[in-house]
Amino acid sequence: MFKNTKAFSGFSVDNIEKAQQFYGQTLQLDVTVNSMGLLELKINGGTTIIAYPKPNHTPATFTILNFPVGNIEKAVDELRKLGVVFEQYDMKDLKTDAKGIAWGKKYGKGPNIAWFKDPAGNILSVLEG
């Protein structure tokens, strides 16, 4: 039924203008606000993801977008220079270093990954692929 359908993903934000600035300027994605007031994030490969305003927005408690990078340390350093704050975790199975990087490959526990939030509190990540 959906085999030939080009699906897309979406998530809510509490402020489209702040989201547009963050995704467009900080993350340097190609973004536009469409005629319905939805923010369209143009992702490499032709995928479009939408962010829609929601007055009673509650941030997602899971990672909504993952950005693969070739060098996680370089990506984290560049994003930090742009004002991005990385999450810190110190749990039994998940620990991040001072920069916010969880070195999963080193310990056989998944990819090297670092999480951060958008202005609406949604969780994003960069991960070394």
- Tell me, yes or no, whether 100 lies in a domain: yes
**Spatial contact of 49 and 13, defined as CB atoms under 8 Å apart:** no
Q: How far apart are CA 8 and CA 25, in angstroms?
A: 22
- Tell me, yes or no, whether 3 lies in a domain: no
Tens digit of each residue's pLDDT (9 = 90 or more) over 63-122:
999 999 999 999 999 999 999 999 999 998 889 999 999 999 888 888 999 999 999 999
How is residue 40 annotated by DSSP?
A: E
- Tell me, yes or no, whether 2 lies in a domain: no
Tens digit of each residue's pLDDT (9 = 90 or more) over 23-65:
999 999 999 999 999 999 999 888 899 999 999 999 999 999 9
Residue range(s) defining the domain that contains residue 98: 10-128
- Tell me, yes or no, whether 55 lies in a domain: yes
Q: Which pLDDT band holds residue 8 (cuts at 50, 70, 90)? A: confident
- Tell me, yes or no, whether 91 lies in a domain: yes
Domain with 64 in it: what CATH number? 3.10.180.10
- Tell me, yes or no, whether 1 lies in a domain: no
Q: How many domains does the chain have?
A: 1
- Tell me, yes or no, whether 4 lies in a domain: no
- Tell me, yes or no, whether 43 lies in a domain: yes
How is residue 24 annotated by DSSP?
A: I
